[in-house]
Amino acid sequence: MKKSYDIIVIGAGHAGIEASLAAARMGKNTLLITLEKEGVALMPCNPAIGGTAKGHLVREVDALGGQMGISADDALLQIKMLNRGKGPAVFSLRGQEDKALYHEIMLGVLENQDNLEVVYDEVTEIAVRDGEVYGISAAESGFTEAKAVVMATGVYLNGKIIVGEESRESGPIGFRCATGLTRNLLSLGIDIRRFKTGTPARIARDSIDYDKMQLQEGEDDIGKFSFMHEGNLYNQLPCWLTYTNERTHEVIRKNIGRSPLYNGTIKGVGPRYCPSIEDKVMRFPDKTRHQIFVEPEGRDSDLMYIQGMSSSLPKDVQEEMYHTVAGLENARFIRYAYAIEYDCINPFELSSSLAVKRVKGLFSAGQINGSSGYEEAAAQGLIAGINAVKYVDGEHPFVLSRDEAYIGVLIDDLVTKGTNEPYRMMTARAEYRLRLRQDNADLRLTEKAYNAGLATKERYGRTLKRKAEIDEIIAAASKTRVRKENGGIFGRFEDVYVEKTISVKEALKHPGITFEVLKEATDAFDGYSPSALFSAEVMIKYEGYIEKEDAAIRDAKRLEEKVLPADIDYNELTGLRLEARQKLSAIRPATLGQASRISGVSPADITVLLIYLKTVKRTI
């Protein structure tokens, strides 16, 4: 191990992996330091990648040159498309992963990456001098110099596992936690919070009665996560669906006083969108059942993940509760469910580049920022890694706006709106969903990543080729015509009546008409790839809506282009309400657009800031 690096990344979870790989691939001498080898790329909760909105993040990380999508494809057990009934803007890939294989793949990628060294040790201090980072100290390896540091510590800071009356200092699934770094962050003036998350029990595969459950199979015609991979996944493992019932709920209700969530043992704030089973039963007493998905942890693993039954109830209550569920009557516990509390930072401490405002050269990514989920972590890690490189090189930061990527929405939400609970990405958080589809992530982002020095020439070439194919399809759709009687295709769909010969482009705007349907009327599109056909079809079918969204984006950019001075004293602007002064002073938004999204800043306050900017401009 050398004693000086360009960039040091703390933590080798999903954020730390992307940050360290980005820094190394952009040519920086990088150290990745983490507690233990077994924790690299760990999936302590659901062994799955993607899901609603999260699939968009994986695709964007991939389009930017990240690793998650590539490794997820190589470890897939099953893949399916979610939200098919809600329109292509919110279609989201979700893949069940081989947990052990994903860890092995990522470990191999890290160990074989040029410019990257991996060390297993506990970081106890981030060294800061005159407001600027200059290295780290670790328990075993001592001091190491660095020009920039990325914190990606996940849920390991003062981690505490809680099961009923039992509790112990621990990281996920019994791994070591980090006990010294929180004190260091507090000494730097960084605002620390306490959050909580949890995970369900792991059940022995051979103790489950699958005949009492509903089979949940994957799809073998939807491609994979990475734009670098072609083809489909055929060798898929099934999952199963079952439900809780009134007996399950009665077990929970009669033991609720023993729940750490309800007796005051747990102090941390948990995720609203992924509550424990006891929380669901108590908060929604009208619900007679809740969905439970039973999912494999690996091809060769004897563990089944019981999604939907996260809990911190005592072990005896867990056994009684699980055994009431159809198919789990004889379930044998390999690992009990638990809650975990951990320290994280207030994301208001960060700028849009994920730089810590108080300390130059210090960046932060992942669950330490108050987010949840592997995908949210990977997205932040990639951006933090890129911006650590930009900082070392003295260049402007790499920032994605809300109209460019879900990653832009995620980071802007965190640093502008903050979060009082573990943040989860959802499609509803994105204003421009038709523009930010998962199928066009490469068209939106790969050129930016290539220009930034991360995406490879091969990846950029693939994107240009796919873009040209899509453009060719759209052009051909305007020229190619189909007769109304061809195959009787139009008559099959309700409320669709065509009186004349029309272009394929016009035909696609009818409900139910797709390129797949039009194969019966023309062979003009037989040679094109399914992914290019799908992207072209969406662009044609929703052309009018996309144009309206583009107009809204142009209007929003007018505020984003108005930069607020970094040294502005909001307390001197008497027209601002007190709450607005306090929020603006604490968050210090970079632009008027960012200021407009801060909770507690009203349209009237934005008008005051507009007048101020005009006044300043006149005096310059």
Tell me the pLDDT tens digit for each residue of 453-505.
Answer: 999 999 999 999 999 999 999 999 999 998 766 556 776 765 566 667 889 99
d(Cα 8, Cα 385) in Å, to the nearest integer? Answer: 10
d(Cα 57, Cα 447) in Å, to the nearest integer? Answer: 17
Closest C-alpha to 244, from 206, 273, 287? 287
Closest C-alpha to 40, from 115, 95, 101? 101
CATH class of the structural domain 202-341: mainly beta
The DSSP secondary-structure symbol of 147 reads E
Residue range(s) in the chain whose domain bears CATH number 1.10.150.570: 561-619
Under 8 Å between Cβ of 534 and 514: no
Measured at the CA of 571, the angle between CA 565 and CA 572, to 5 degrees, comes to: 80
Please report the pLDDT score of residue 4 as a whole number. Answer: 96
Fold of 561-619: DNA polymerase; domain 1 (1.10.150)
Residues of the chain with pLDDT under 50: none
Under 8 Å between Cβ of 368 and 344: yes
Fold of 457-549: Arc Repressor Mutant, subunit A (1.10.10)
d(Cα 126, Cα 152) in Å, to the nearest integer? Answer: 13
Residue range(s) in the chain whose domain bears CATH number 2.40.30.260: 202-341
Please report the pLDDT score of residue 112 as a whole number. Answer: 98
Tell me the pLDDT tens digit for each residue of 205-229.
Answer: 999 999 999 999 999 999 999 999 9
Other CB atoms within 10 Å distance of the CB of residue 187: 11
Residue range(s) in the chain whose domain bears CATH number 1.10.10.1800: 457-549
Three-state SS for 274?
Answer: coil
Please report the pLDDT score of residue 485 as a whole number. Answer: 60
Under 8 Å between Cβ of 31 and 10: no
